[in-house]
Amino acid sequence: MIREELESRKLPELLALESGEAVKTTQDWERRRGEIQELLRREYTGYPTRLGVRTAGRVLFCDENGYGGKAVVKTIQLEIKSDFSFGTFSFRLALPKGAANPPLFLYLAFTPEIADGLGEEILDAGYGIASVYYQDMAPDYYDEHKNGLGRFCARNPYDSWGKLAIWAWGASRMLDYLLEEESVDAGRVAVMGHSRLGKTALAAGCFDERFSLTVSNDSGGGGAALFRKKGGEQIENLYGKGSRLWFCGNFFSYLNRTEELPFDQHFLLALAAPRHLYVCSASRDTWADPRAEFLACAAASPAYELYGLPGLVTDDAWPECGQPLHEGYIGYHLREGAHYLGRYDWQQVISYRNRWGI
């Protein structure tokens, strides 16, 4: 059933090099990955700045007894410099006490504060949180991509970075600092976000191989969902005033010709291979289209299989609410309910991380 559905969507071939040669080995895949990165940068996210930068962090404030004494909570100002430019933003880092090198969630957030209840749940599970309010990196409105981190790269109307790539680049700069300066487990840093920030988490984690896990929640169109035969949001909707800013200009040359996109979102997901990936969907989120997200996971799995690893492990059936699929390197769950990042989503991702030790 899944295979037939994928065949009917006529997706571009994941395991073929641009020369037409089949991808049969992990070495072939490494080449293919490079091609896909180029393709997606040129046609979808846009290229990030090519300037070399230095990242430094300054602890502005440290609460040694956060969360009733359970965690150290720092406010860190990140300073990023190139030879021509300078950018800065701050983020929160909460680390559970008593864990020498805790694994971490780099959480792309819609608010500047980590909610107390959410923070406590995550810290009690033994994970640290580096939480950044996305608009502190670059604003989410039309500014010709000139403010915040946008100033590192002059925007052209074709292939320079859209906002997703700018925010993702900021997440990578946070990682520069966290891996150098803070006592976190370098092999266990996940990047996670919801909705447009789920798209951003994919743009960060699928490209930056230092993330051990990439998690998107309800990321939908321009995120984990396949575009071909997708329900709900289409490329034409993403061309709306707000979301148009998130992508590079070339992406919208596919307006009203989705079938001609030279990629689909399984290309993006497969970039994570052989690292872990986790996609969360919600049953009533028809705008995002849970089925298109699920199918993209299935379509990305062959990249894992080249490494002898299971991608998405599922029966040949649509996923059921409340029956998470945790047995493969691609984890997936369908939550009952609407577009939202909820308790159930966090709990499932934590349990997946515990299970795999990532």
Which CB atom, from 136 or from 182, has the smaller least distance to ligand GCU?
136
Q: Distance between CA atoms of 346 and 342, rounded to whole angstroms?
A: 7
Taking the complex as a whole, how short is the minimal distance between the CB of residue 221 and ligand GCU, in angstroms?
Answer: 5
Site of tokens 């049953």: 283
Which CB atom, from 115 or from 154, has the smaller least distance to ligand GCU?
115
Tokens of 6: 């994928």
Which CB atom, from 40 or from 178, has the smaller least distance to ligand GCU?
40
Other Cβ atoms closer than 10 A to 153: 22
Q: Distance between CA atoms of 76 and 90, rounded to whole angstroms?
A: 5
By beta-carbon distance, which residue lies closest to ligand GCU?
196
Taking the complex as a whole, how short is the minimal distance between the CB of residue 20 and ligand GCU, in angstroms?
Answer: 34
Q: Pick from 207, 119, 191: which is nearest to 353 by CA? A: 191
Residue 103 per-residue DSSP state: -
Taking the complex as a whole, how short is the minimal distance between the CB of residue 168 and ligand GCU, in angstroms?
Answer: 14
Q: Distance between CA atoms of 9 and 225, rounded to whole angstroms?
A: 12
Say what angle helices 163-181 and 196-205 make with each other, to 10 degrees: 60
Which CB atom, from 33 or from 335, has the smaller least distance to ligand GCU?
335
Site of tokens 């749940």: 121
Q: Distance between CA atoms of 276 and 193, rounded to whole angstroms?
A: 15
Taking the complex as a whole, how short is the minimal distance between the CB of residue 228 and ligand GCU, in angstroms?
Answer: 17
Q: Which helix (H) or strand (E) holds 119?
A: helix 116-124
DSSP 172-186: HHHHHHHHHHS---T
Taking the complex as a whole, how short is the minimal distance between the CB of residue 350 and ligand GCU, in angstroms?
Answer: 23
Which CB atom, from 50 or from 241, has the smaller least distance to ligand GCU?
241
Which CB atom, from 220 or from 331, has the smaller least distance to ligand GCU?
220
Which CB atom, from 71 or from 268, has the smaller least distance to ligand GCU?
268
Taking the complex as a whole, how short is the minimal distance between the CB of residue 233 and ligand GCU, in angstroms?
Answer: 5
Say what angle helices 2-9 and 290-305 make with each other, to 10 degrees: 100
Taking the complex as a whole, how short is the minimal distance between the CB of residue 8 and ligand GCU, in angstroms?
Answer: 24
Interface ranges with ligand GCU (CB under 6 A): 195-196, 220-221, 233, 237, 243, 287
